[in-house]
Amino acid sequence: MSRFREELKVIPRAVRIIVAFVLLGLSSAFTLFLIFSHDPELIHTPRFGKLLMIVGVGIVPAIWLLLIGYVYADAKRRGMRYVMWTLLAIFIPNAIGIILYFILRDPLMKPCPGCAQVLKSGYTFCPHCGTSLLPTCPHCGRSVELGWANCPQCGTRLPSPAPRTT
Ligand SMILES: [Zn+2]
Ligand SMILES: [Zn+2]
């Protein structure tokens, strides 16, 4: 739950305010519609049912807007093409753009232990200060994984545990 809350904080405040207004606007518009409607079916709907309809009418658009706000901010912090992803999330119907985003998004960026610049994942060396970001083979310099006994590229025996990066 706290993880979920952390993720909600990623959504820009402007989007959250817009969502609140959309919810409020749709619910009050629907309330007015219920008050002035002469539809016989609606008149016989129990009060509780009407209340559910008033609350529910804004939920789907609100969640959709929140997800688009999330895609925008999350793609930005991950160093992805956030304008493209936001447009895909908005214009591909049935939320397929949003689902694709969650499947294809890049891992979160991490700060370099040497210079604290925020970097995309997958780099072996920091492009700013040259600090090694992954354990590397002392002989050939290719990246190796923690726990490997030998370098898969040149066969050199690796010190155990494999050399740490920091
Ligand atoms: Zn660095
Ligand atoms: Zn090697």
Residue type, 146: L
Per-residue pLDDT of 50-75, as tens digits, reads 888 888 888 989 999 999 999 999 99
Q: Among all ligands shown, which has an atom nearest to the Cα of 115? A: 1
How remote is the CA of residue 135 from the centroid of ligand 2, in Å? Answer: 11
Residue 37, pLDDT score: 83
Residue 162 has pLDDT above 50, yes or no: no
What's the whole-model pTM score? 0.71
- Average pLDDT over the chain, rounded to an integer: 88
How remote is the CA of residue 115 from the centroid of ligand 1, in Å? Answer: 4
How remote is the CA of residue 126 from the centroid of ligand 2, in Å? Answer: 20
Q: Among all ligands shown, which has an atom nearest to the Cα of 114? A: 1
Q: How confident is the model at residue 159 (pLDDT cuts 50, 70, 90)?
A: confident
How remote is the CA of residue 119 from the centroid of ligand 1, in Å? Answer: 8
Q: Domain boundaries in the chain?
A: 2-107, 109-166
Residue 122, pLDDT score: 78
A 10 A CB-CB count for 99 gives 13
How remote is the CA of residue 147 from the centroid of ligand 2, in Å? Answer: 14
Per-residue pLDDT of 108-130, as tens digits, reads 888 998 899 988 887 888 999 99
End-to-end CA distance of the chain: 33
How remote is the CA of residue 140 from the centroid of ligand 1, in Å? Answer: 22
Name the β-bridge partners of 132: 125
Helix (H) or strand (E) holding 52, with range, is: helix 47-56
Residue 163 has pLDDT above 70, yes or no: no
Q: Which residue has the higher pLDDT, 44 or 64?
A: 64
Residue 166 has pLDDT above 70, yes or no: no
